[in-house]
């Protein structure tokens, strides 16, 4: 049961195409996993459409004819065939089933690298306005406490992690900004998450500050 969803405002921005590509990817993956947000997205699409198509701007008759002629003469835009691509991800002897959005963009997932302790990371090539990573936390892993410069979205793809505030399971979506500080950990269960960030993490606690170079490795 998913208990942590994007806000209504975030869903509107997502549907309108106002969010960064990275955050949009995390939202789209949550929507794959969440029937409640699928329904919300369908409603919002309809609402936005009514709003945006509520007014008209008359085109010159001449332009209309020209444009239609150009359209009739155009060749079909290249078609994207969506085949159910390989949706399994293997890591550390475990297999994860990737939600549609990730499976479809599988070729954007870079190689896994071992970070520190029980943390692994695979960068996703998404865009220059955001940094997106798949992060795997084995059982009993801890990410040093940090705040965020900018907005960090985290989605649990599979497993469970906790921070000071709560525990999060498959499909949970968490959005944190610079006001929040947290240190995610896993306990009995491992956890695969998808995270997007639009600026480097800022580590705040004691020895972790020494890990600041690590943040640029972690989220670059």
Partner 1 sequence: MQMASARETQRKVMTSARTDNADYAADLLAQVAATQSRRAFSELFRHFAPKLQAYATRQFGNEQTAMDLVQETMTNVWHKAHLFKPDKGSPSTWIFTIARNIRFDILRKNKHRQNDLSADELWPILAENNESLDDDYSLDGKVLMQEISSYYAQLPDAQREVIERIYIEGKSQQEVSDSLGIPLGTVKSRTRLALKKLKELITAHD
CA 48 and chain centroid, separation? 22
Q: Which of 1, 9, 53, 188 binds partner 1 (CB under 8 A)?
A: 53
CB of 215 to partner 1, least distance (A): 23
Number of Cα atoms under 13 Å in the Cβ half of residue 119: 21
- Select from 133, 84, 130 the least CA-distant residue to 108: 133
| 100 is an interface residue for partner 1 by CB under 8 A | yes
- How many other CB atoms sit within 10 Å of the CB of residue 174? 23
**Shortest Cβ distance from residue 165 to partner 1 (Å)?**
25
Residue 128 touches partner 1, criterion: CB under 8 A: yes
> From CA 72, how far away is CA 97, in angstroms rounded?
43
Token digits for 164? Answer: 């000071």
Distance CA(179)–CA(149), nearest Å, equals 9
Q: Select from Zn ion, partner 1, none the partner in contact with residue 24, using the beta carbon and a kind-dependent cut-off of 5 to 8 Å.
A: partner 1
Q: Can you give the binding site for partner 1, defined by CB under 8 A?
A: 15-17, 21, 24-25, 28, 32-33, 35, 42, 45-46, 48-49, 52-53, 55-59, 61, 63-64, 67-68, 70-72, 74, 76-77, 79-88, 95-97, 99-101, 104-105, 108, 125-129, 170
């Amino acid at each position: 049961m998913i208990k942590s969803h994007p806000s209504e405002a975030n869903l509107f921005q997502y549907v309108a195409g106002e969010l960064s590509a990275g955050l949009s990817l995390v939202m789209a993956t949550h929507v794959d996993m969440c029937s409640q947000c699928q329904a919300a997205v369908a409603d919002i699409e309809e609402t936005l459409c009514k709003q945006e198509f509520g007014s008209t701007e008359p085109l010159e008759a001449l332009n209309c004819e020209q444009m239609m002629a150009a359209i009739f003469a155009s060749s079909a835009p290249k078609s994207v065939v969506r085949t159910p691509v390989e949706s399994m991800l293997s890591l550390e002897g475990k297999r994860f089933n990737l939600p549609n959005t990730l499976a479809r963009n599988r070729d954007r997932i870079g190689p896994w690298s071992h970070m520190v302790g029980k943390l692994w990371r695979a960068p996703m090539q998404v865009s220059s306005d955001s940094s997106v990573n798949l992060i795997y936390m084995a059982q009993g892993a801890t990410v040093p406490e940090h705040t965020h410069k900018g907005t960090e979205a985290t989605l649990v793809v599979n497993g469970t992690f906790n921070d000071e505030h709560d525990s999060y399971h498959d499909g949970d979506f968490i959005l944190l900004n610079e006001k929040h500080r947290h240190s995610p950990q896993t306990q009995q269960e491992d956890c695969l998450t998808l995270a997007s960030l639009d600026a480097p993490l800022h580590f705040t606690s004691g020895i972790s500050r020494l890990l600041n170079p690590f943040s640029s490795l972690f989220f670059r």
